[in-house]
Structure 1
Amino acid sequence: MKLWLLAAVAAVSGTQASAQRGGDPVTVPVTVEVIGTGSVEIKAAAQRIAVTFSGRGATMAAAEAARSRKEGQVLALLAAEGVPATAILPLPESEQTRMSLLGSLGTMGATTADQGASEDATEEARGGRIVQAATMAQVDTLTRKLKAIGVQVGTPAASFEGVAAARRDARLGALRDARVGADRYAVALGMKVGGVRRVSETGDGPVMPGLQEKLSTMLATGSPSILPRLAETPKESATIYESVVAEFALLP
C-alpha cells in the first residue's frame, strides 16, 4: 500500500489576511508543508553466500593438500548444480579472517575423533569462495549439498542493481504523494492548491523526513512489529523508500 502520511507539519503561515499596500488590498496566501513518501520495489540481482572449508594434516603442506582436495569437491558440486565459473569469486580477506576465528573457536575442546582427523593432524589450512546464486531456491539447494560434504555456508546476502534509479523514482512518487496531501488540506479548508513554493529532500530538522515519519508512526501505534522488520535481511526483493517535504500555497 502506498505510504502517504501527512505528518501534520501543516505550517499555516497566514489566514487570508489582508494588508494595505498603496491603497489596494493584498491577500497573503495560506501555505502548508506536507511530507510525502514514495516507494519502489526492486528485485535482487543475485544472492551471495560465503562458502568456507579446510584441510588438516600433520604438516602445513599436508593440510594445504587436503584443503585443495576439498576445494575440488566444492567446485565440482557447484558445476554440477549449474553455477558458472564467473559466479564463483575469491573470498575477501576480511571474511577469511572472520571464518578462521570462528573455526578456531568451534574446534576448541573438540577431540580428534570429533574433527574427523588423526591425532597427527595438527595443522589446518582454510579456504573459501563467494558464490553468487540466481535465486533463494538455488541457495537452499547449494547450502544443503555443501553442508553434506562438510563445508560451512554463510547467511545469504542479496545484491541489488539499479538502486540509484529506484531512489529517483521513489522521490518522484513522494512528490506526487505530497500533492495528494496538499489537496486533502485544501478540501478541508474549502480552498484550492495554488502551486508549489518549496521542495526539500532533507527537511528542516535534524532527522530525515522519512525516518521522522516512521518514528512518529511507531510512537503513535505502539507497534512492536516495526523494530524486527528493520533488522530483516533482504531476500528476493527490497523496497526503497524516499520522502520529501513540499510546501504548497493554498488559495481561496
Structure 2
Amino acid sequence: MRTKSFVLALALIAPGVASAQGRQPVTLEIVGNGWVDVKPGKVTLEVGYIGKGKTEAEAKRDSAALLAKIEETLKAQGLSAAAIGDAPVDSPTKAQMEQMQSDDADSASDAAPVVTDPHARLLTFRTTAQADAVRDQLLVNDYKIGTLRAEPDITEVDAADKQVKAMALRNARADAEIYAKEMGLRVARVVRISETGNGPLTPAVQNKIELAMSQGPQAVFRSFKRADGATHVEKALVVTFELQ
C-alpha cells in the first residue's frame, strides 16, 4: 500500500516558525501528512431484465434463460450464483423494469399479446474490476444496468484513520530530524500536536489548495474519488518540536 507525505515548514503559513528567543528552547513546527487507500468492503451493481413470451410460462422460461446468462458471466469472474440477490424495493432499476413492463403491455395488440416477467437483481462483487467486467458483458447483451456502488468497510476506515495519524507523526518527525541537523541541533521532544494549525485554513485544506494550484482542480477530485472504489483516508497534522 503506497503512502506519500510531504512536509511544509510553517513559514509557508506564517513567519517565524523556527526561532530562538533568548534562552528559550528552539521550536520547529512541521506539517506532516499521511494517507492510505482502503479497499471497498463490498461492490454492488443493479441489473434488470425482462422475460417475454406469448404465455406466462414462456415469459418465465425466457427470464430464467436471462438469469442463467448472468450466472455464466459471474462464473467467468470466479463468482457463484450466490452473488445474485434481489434489488431493493425502492431500486431505480426495479422501477425501470416495471415501467418497461407497462409500456410493453400498452403496445401489445389483442392479436399478438405479450406476457412479460420483469426482474431487478443486485449483484455483489469483491472488487470493482469484477463488477466492471460483468457490467460490460451484460451491456453487450442488452441488460439494463444500474449504478455501480463501492461501499467502504467502516471498521477498516476507522482503523486506517488511526494509521494515517501515526504515519503523519512519523513523517513530521523524520523531517524535523533533517531540519534539526541542518541547524546543528537535535529533536528533544514533541510539545504540541494539532489538526487545525495556527492559520485560517487547516493543513488538510492548504494541501488541497496546493494540489489544485500545481496539478489543477481535477487532481483534487481524483484524490477523493478512486476508480477502484477505494476510500481515500488522509490526515494532516501540525507538530511542534522542541530542539536542543
TM-score by length of 1: 0.68
Instruction: Indicate the residue corresponding to 1:118 in structure 2.
Output: 108
Q: CA deviation at 1:93?
A: 3.9
2:20 is equivalent to residue 16 of structure 1: yes
Structure 1 pair 93/211, CA: closer, same or farther in 2 (3 Å)? farther
Task: Verify the 8 A CA contact 2:43 2:128 in the aligned structure 1.
Answer: yes
CA distance in 1, matches of 2:117, 2:9: 57
Alignment length (residue pairs): 230
Of the three residues 105, 112, 125, the one matched with 1:133 is: 125
Q: How does 1:5-84 map to 2 (within 5 A)?
A: 5-6=7-8, 8=10, 9=13, 12=16, 15-18=19-22, 27-54=23-50, 66=59, 71-80=63-72, 81-82=74-75, 83-84=79-80
Q: Give 1:184-195 correspondences, 5 Å limit.
A: 184-195=178-189
Sort the Cα spacing of 1:226 and 1:74 in 2 relative to 1 into closer, same or farther, 3 A. same
1:22 maps to none
Unaligned runs of 5+ in 1: 19-26
Opposite residue 100 of structure 1, the aligned amino acid is A
Answering whether residue 167 of structure 2 is matched by residue 173 of structure 1, we say: yes
Contact 1:35 1:244 (C-alpha < 8 Å) held by counterparts: yes
Q: Is the 8 A contact 1:11 1:33 kept in 2?
A: no
Task: Say if 1:74 and 1:146, in contact at 8 Å, map to a contact too.
Answer: no
Name the CA shift for 1:192/1:212 in 2 (closer, same or farther; >3 Å).
Answer: same
SS at match of 1:154: strand
Unaligned runs of 5+ in 2: none
Q: Secondary structure at the match of 2:161?
A: helix
Aligned position for 1:3: 5
Identical pairs, percent: 27
Q: Which amino acid aligns with 1:129?
A: R
Q: State the SS of the aligned residue for 2:135.
A: helix
Which string of whole-angstrom CA distances, capped at 9 and with x for unpartnered residues, describes residues 107-152 of structure 1?
Answer: 9xx9x7xx9x635679987541221123445334422443344321
Listed one character per residue, the Cα deviations across residues 47-94 of structure 1 (whole Å, up to 9, x for unaligned) are 321112346799xx97xx95x656534432333333434422332344
What SS is found at the alignment partner of 2:142?
coil
Contact 1:157 1:235 in 2 (8 A): no
TM-score (norm 2): 0.70
